[in-house]
Every structure is written in structure tokens, then in C-alpha cells.
Structure 1
Amino acid sequence: MKRFSFLFTLFILLLAGTAGCSSSSSSAQEGKKTITIGATAGPYSDQIREAIQPYLEKKGYNVKLVEFNDYVQPNIALHQKSIDVNVFQNSMYLKNFARTHHMQLHPLISIPTVPIGLYSKKHSSLDEIKDGTTIALPNEPVNEARALTMLEQLGILKLKPGVEPTKASENDIAQFYKKVILKPLDPAQLPRALGDVDYALINGNYALSSGLKLTEAVALEKTPDYYLIVVTIRPEDKDKPFVNDLIAAYRSKEFAKLIKKDPKYKGYVWPDWFKKQ
């Protein structure tokens, strides 16, 4: 009987100890603030690494940065909750992607953005464009429209009257002022195509991550607000504490100092709120 009582007491003590450990472990997990941010390799992941991550870590966060090499996986990862935030897309791309992929995505704040540029390894000016000149451009709908609008602004082609600039496609070209040859390619492949074409319209993140510089562009886009990069979250997270801290990180004096003082960020397009920083 005494042996049974001893074993029973020992069992209760062990059970209590296990419960205590479990409770302690659970509390530790709940107290740990982790935020996983996805971004395309290049300027936006650099911004996170150089200013946003240090700011959030001072606030007690464990920040994980995941880099992507395309414009599809960051939104899929956000939708599937393998990341909490992504930083790579403009608001027009976000709206189009969310609609066509039946996802709920929420733009949080626009940030300093690299403009799309016309680059070349063979030519130094627009004056060298002639009949037969090859120009590569993004084959993704939103950025293709963006590239075609820029080509119109540069006087290379004319779009049909009444065409929405953000929805233009090759079918909407009314005429070419020069008989150039357009070559739509995957956005990530455009820097590598420079050796095979005369010019290429390259999104800023891919241009800079491949070693190109804004100062080397033959021409740069006059970027409208709807093409500024937006920090993106899931709608159900918009009232969570980490979201406010993320906004504070981008509005911080540390981030403003980085963008305004570091020479490598010269030429970025600033959202209106940032101009007042």
C-alpha cells in the first residue's frame, strides 16, 4: 500500500513537472515575436537588411528574410502563410495578381522605388534606334503595359487612342515610329538578354541585382504613384501589432537616412509621404 502511494505521488509530481515545462515552453513561444519577410533579391531586400531588420530587432523581433527570384512565389508564399509580409510589387501588379489568382492581398505602405529603365550594352542613346532594332521587355501583363507606355513616352511607338496605360498590350499598338522588333521575356531574364538584343526595358530590382546602375540607363521611367512598390500583407493581419511596427520601421529616421544619404539609392522615386521625412 505504501509502495502504491509512493508511486502514485511520484506520478503526480512528474505529471505536474511535465505540465509546468509545457506551460513554460508555450509561454516562451507566445512571447517570441518572429516576422518573416519575403522580397526579391536586390534593392528591396537590401533596404530590409540595412534598415528595416535592425529597427525591428531593436523592438524585440526575430526577423527572417526570404529572397525570391521571380514575381510569382512571393505572393503564393504570403497567401500560404509561409511568410508574413512581402516587398517586391507595385499596386497595379498586386491588384492584377490577387484578381487572377483569387487571393486576398493588402497593400500597406508605398516605399522608395527603383524606376524601370531602358538599358543597352550596344548603344548609348535613343538616337541609335532604327528600323530592325530589337527591344526586350517584360512579358508579364502589368509590367508589359508599363514598358509599352514608356516606349510611347520615348517616341518609339504609339498606342491606340483611349487605351488604359496600365492595361496596354502589344495588340494595342497603333503604330511604330521606327520598325523596332519587340521581344517579350520573363522579367528576371531581361538583364541576361542584353547581349542578344539592342535594348531592354528592365524592372529596377532586376537591373540593380544584376549589377546594372541607374546612371547607366539610356532612359528612366517617370514613375507614377501606382507603380511604386508596396509592402504587402494578408488583410486579416492589418490590425496586428507587427504591422504597426513594420510601418514605423519604414517611417523611421534610420530608413530615411539610409535612402537619402547612401549613394546607391540615388535616383529612386519617392512616395509623397517619404518626401516629407
Structure 2
Amino acid sequence: MNLMRGIRAFLLMSTMSAMSAAVTLAHAADPAKQEIRFGATAGPYADQIRYGIKPVLEKEGYKVSIVEFTDYVQPNLALADGALDANAFQHEIYLKKFSDEHNLKLSELIKVPTAPIGVYSHRFKSLADVKDGATVSLPNDVTNQARAIVLLEQIGWVTLKPGTNPVTSSERDIATNPHKLKLLPLDAAQLPRSLDDVDYAFINGNFALAAGLKLTDSLLLEKIPPHYLNLVAVRGVDIDKPYVQDIANAYKSPEFRRVVDERFKGFTRPDYLR
């Protein structure tokens, strides 16, 4: 009888172990997806993945590789072509405009902590020092230039025509330019290099940080509205796949929050991290 009880106990423990393993597997990596290829612009968004997302996903059983880009065009094309599984570098306005222009089926997954545009200068210590005829560099892509134009208005360097849509504003919408500023649109990645040649530069936070600048070095930081928070994009057909939901869960994890607290101070946070 003792032997039979022992056998029954062993079988019961084996069954419970198998059930536990099955539950563990149910919460592990998507069995149809072994590797997640993540694209991001070099700097903080790649680092968010490297230090905050990759470790979480690798604990789930994925292999995670990070491809870094220096422009705003290739990450979406690579995602659409299947060379990437997700990317993190853009806001919803840019994603929609780019997808419409290139007939891509890309979808937003989740917002991420975002570095604001900052006003930097190697020549002046204050915005109040601006001189007539000053040269100001700013992003040349449509959506980020609109952000810079709005910031120019907020600091009183220009006024915009009545009824201007801030999301689509451009140089054409400037009504008055009392300092006769010379606006120099440049590729966003080149803006930090322009600091030696211009009086002021309006630099996207990710490229500022990638160039060794600090957010606290700026003379002014943009207050980012929700539609300008950066996001993770995936292919529309993949939005409901388990590995995509695992990416979203990694951004919502306590581990990622700790990384943001330690490494990304000054970033504007989405609601789930506040």
C-alpha cells in the first residue's frame, strides 16, 4: 500500500509539473517567432530597446537584434519589407504621412518616452541674446519642422498667420519675422553638426543626445503634446500576433520603468509610465 501511495504521489507530482510547464510555455515567447529585429534611430531610442526592452524579451525566450539608423526614411521601408519586425523612432503624424505617401500598411503599437526638441547654441547663453539676422537651423522634414516653427512662435521670434494648423505649419505660414531670422532647414541628423555654423539650432532630442549633448544643455525644451510622442510601429498584419503583444508588455513592464527612471530623465513619458 505504501508503494502504491508513493507511485500515486509521484504521478500526481509529475502531472502538476507538466501542468506548470504548460502554463510557463503559455506565457513564454511566441512559438512562431524566435527572433525580433528592432529598428531605431541611433541614440536614446536604440538605447531604450537595448537596456530596457531587449532584456525583458530575452527572458521570455526571444533573441533580439537592434538595427540602428541615422535617418527617418529607411526604418519604415525596412519594416514594410520585412527586414525589421518593429521600429521606434517616429511620432504618429510622421507615421501616417509616410505610410500614406509610400502606400505602406504600418500601425502604431505603443507610445514610448520621447526626447523633446531643444534650442541649442554654441555662441549664446540665452534666447534673449538673439540678434537681428541670426541664422537658425531646424529640421527639414515636414512634421518636425512644424514642431520647430511652433516653438519659434512660442518664444516670440516669429508670428504665424491666423488659422495656421500647428501640425502642418511651415515657413510659408510665418506672418512676421521681426529679427529677420535666416532659417536653415537641414536633415535632422545633421543639426548637431550645424552648431558651429549657426547662431541657434532646433535639434530633435534623440539626435542631440546621440551627438553628446544633454537635454539640460538646451536653452529651451519643447513641451511635447501627445501626438508628437514617439511610438513603436509594426506591420498592420502583425498587430495581433503574440510577439507584438509581448513587445507592448515589455514597454509596460517594471523593468522598463526602472531603466527610464535611471537613464532617460527629462524625457516626456506616455500615460502608462506616469
* Aligned 8 A contact 1:75 1:86 in 2: yes
Identity of aligned residues (%): 52
* Aligned 8 A contact 1:131 1:179 in 2: yes
Matches of residues 87-126 of structure 1 in structure 2 within 5 Å?
Answer: 87-126=88-127
1:269 alignment partner AA: T
Over aligned residue pairs, what C-alpha RMSD do you find?
A: 1.0
Counterparts of 2:95 and 2:88, CA distance in 1: 11
- What is the CA distance between 1:266 and its match in structure 2? 1.3
1:133-166 Cα deviation digits (max 9, x unpaired): 1100001111111110011011110111111101
Task: Tell me the secondary structure at the aligned position of residue 37 of structure 2.
Answer: strand
2:205 alignment partner AA: G
* Aligned 8 A contact 1:41 1:67 in 2: yes
1:249-276 Cα deviation digits (max 9, x unpaired): 000000001112x1x411100112211x
Q: Tell me, which stretches of 5 or more residues in structure 2 are unaligned?
A: 1-30
- What is the CA distance between 1:127 and its match in structure 2? 0.7
1:181-205 Cα deviation digits (max 9, x unpaired): 1101111110001000001001111
- What is the CA distance between 1:224 and its match in structure 2? 0.5
| Residue aligning to 2:84 | 83
Task: Tell me the secondary structure at the aligned position of residue 106 of structure 1.
Answer: strand
Q: Which moved more, 1:98-107 or 1:56-65?
A: 98-107
| Residue aligning to 1:182 | 183
Matches of residues 1-277 of structure 1 in structure 2 within 5 Å?
Answer: 33-260=34-261, 262=262, 264-275=263-274
1:274 alignment partner AA: L
Give me the TM-score of the superposition, normalised by structure 1: 0.86
Counterparts of 1:41 and 1:51, CA distance in 2: 15
- What is the CA distance between 1:177 and its match in structure 2? 2.8
2:211 alignment partner AA: S
Counterparts of 2:137 and 2:57, CA distance in 1: 39
2:102 alignment partner AA: H
Q: Tell me, which stretches of 5 or more residues in structure 1 are unaligned?
A: 1-29
Segments ≥4 residues shifted beyond 4 Å: none
Counterparts of 1:273 and 1:175, CA distance in 2: 40
2:266 alignment partner AA: G
2:100 alignment partner AA: R
Q: Which moved more, 1:225-234 or 1:177-186?
A: 177-186
1:190 alignment partner AA: L
Structure number with bigger Rg: 1
Task: Tell me the secondary structure at the aligned position of residue 182 of structure 1.
Answer: strand
* Aligned 8 A contact 2:33 2:243 in 1: no
| Residue aligning to 2:4 | none
Task: Tell me the secondary structure at the aligned position of residue 131 of structure 1.
Answer: coil
* Aligned 8 A contact 1:155 1:177 in 2: no
- What is the CA distance between 1:124 and its match in structure 2? 1.1
